[in-house]
Amino acid sequence: MADWVGRTAGEIAGAVQRGEVTPRQVVAEHLARIERVDPRIGAFRKVLAEQALAAADRLADRDDLASLPLAGVPVAVKDNLAVAGEATRNGSAATPDTPAPADHETVRRLRAAGAVVIGLTAVPELCVFGTTDSVFGTTRSPWDLSRSSGGSSGGSAAAVAAAMVPIAVGNDGMGSIRIPSANCGVLGLKPGHGLVPADLGHDGWSGMSENGPIATCAADARLLLAVLAGGGPAPAAGTDPAARAEDGPLRIALSVRCPTAGIPVDPQLVAAVRDTGRHLAGAGHRVIRAEVPYPWWLGAASVGRWLAGTADDARGLHPQLLNPRTRRHAALGRAVTRAGLVRQAQRSSWQTQLDRFFAQYDVLITPTLARPAPPAYRWHTRGWLGSVLSNMRYAPFSHPWNLARWPALALPAGHHPDFAAALPLSVQLVAPPGGEQRLLALAAELEERRPWPRTAPDPAR
């Protein structure tokens, strides 16, 4: 492994700030890594090699280099966020190939913090489904190339897991940060509403979608979140006033009940939740088994927004250039909108129920997924129903927190013992609004007590 490939973002930024390495050297090593391993993984829709090296050279001349929190750090950006001078294809042949005139606000903040945008990561068409495959290719988990990286931030999660970049930006409307982070064995945080600028599609699937960090460790996730949320210095672990750090141990609920009735949960994912609880109990927290009171209508409320949001995002695109399952999804979304099935009362009712539940708890832990990732396959060539059923069976735990607009984090939790490949296990941590730092503090605590391999074995070997 090269000197700077595989290092954390914090380590790279510190070395660049101290003059121990140049931004160009860091970027060049990561570009070489991408060239060597990405042909087998498919994490990038487009690698911005020349642009990144030029940006690294400009960065080296900045007078404030020593103060930039992401000085010289290569970062990948999901291909539904505008990067100036590049087309935003959003996984679709129907989107225009005209260059974006300006950066999305999150990209602007990354550059202002000293990060170097090294490429645009792959997504499924319009970021609709939970596997990353499109006319631009199929993205695979670096842990097992026969399995999907997940979606829709599958390219971002795979790039981080394969050490092609130390950090990446994703977004999450029904689990699109947490699902691929779980499949790829990395940490992914969906912030609560309003912390990070969203500006995703028409209205972010009725306000369910948020931009957030994907990283290999809690410290890097905290660092990237601070930049995305406004560019200030990253708060230290445990400094969130809601984190109860000064008031004593956290009250942590463990719940393994699936939000969708009838979907079985892999016993190893249940065991990962309980093992996480044992570690936290050993750290002095109060851990209680307490099942979340998911209402029967919750899935329909989330799916209605998912469908209607796709219809909005597909408006103005040539329908014949969309793949058939996306056209079907958008058509159903138009029907949902006409029927008035997306209602604010659904979100308000769910938030009220959660307020009652969380009156007794500070953090909830659930499985991130219900089963391991599906095969890496050109799912976009199959029918709509097969894709939806696959998504529902393997990733039912994420959507409740998009509907609620609460922060939720996917965290590595070991590896599945029933497969020859080291398939990652993952748990989901949820907190009430404003609890992002609480979640990251717990993630750091678990990382210390139960460390995980930050990157996958080299897929090119």
Task: Point out the residues that are catalytic.
Answer: 78, 152, 176
- Report in angstroms the alpha-carbon separations of 403 from 21, 109, 237: 44, 27, 27
- The C-alpha angle 346, 349, 353, rounded to 5 degrees, equals 140
Please enumerate in sequence order all residues whose Cβ is within 8 A of that of 24, keeping only pairs 6 or more positions apart, or say none. Answer: 53, 56, 57, 60
- Report in angstroms the alpha-carbon separations of 437 from 182, 209, 353, 430, 434: 20, 19, 23, 11, 8
- Report in angstroms the alpha-carbon separations of 216 from 189, 223, 324, 447: 11, 12, 36, 10
Side chain identity, residue 137: G
* Separation of alpha carbons 31 and 20, rounded Å: 19
Name the burial class of residue 339, with classes exposed (0-12), middle (13-18) and buried (19+) by CB atoms within 10 angstroms of its CB. Answer: exposed
- Count of CB atoms situated within 10 Å of the CB of 258: 17
Q: Are 189 and 213 in contact (CB under 8 A)?
A: yes
Tokens of 50: 């020349």
Contacts 24+ apart (CB under 8 A), 48-51: 48/83, 48/86, 48/117, 48/118, 48/119, 48/120, 49/118, 51/85, 51/117
Give which of 308, 329, 309 is closest to 319, Cα–Cα: 329
Side chain identity, residue 135: V
Q: Is the dihedral of CA 369, 375, 378, 379 positive or negative?
A: negative
* Residue 147 three-state SS: strand
Q: Are 441 and 410 in contact (CB under 8 A)?
A: no
Q: Are 180 and 170 in contact (CB under 8 A)?
A: yes
Give which of 311, 303, 326 is closest to 133, Cα–Cα: 326
* Beta pairing partners, 46: 120
**How would you classify the pairing of strands 408-415 and 187-190?**
antiparallel
* Beta pairing partners, 138: 133
Q: Are 44 and 76 in contact (CB under 8 A)?
A: yes
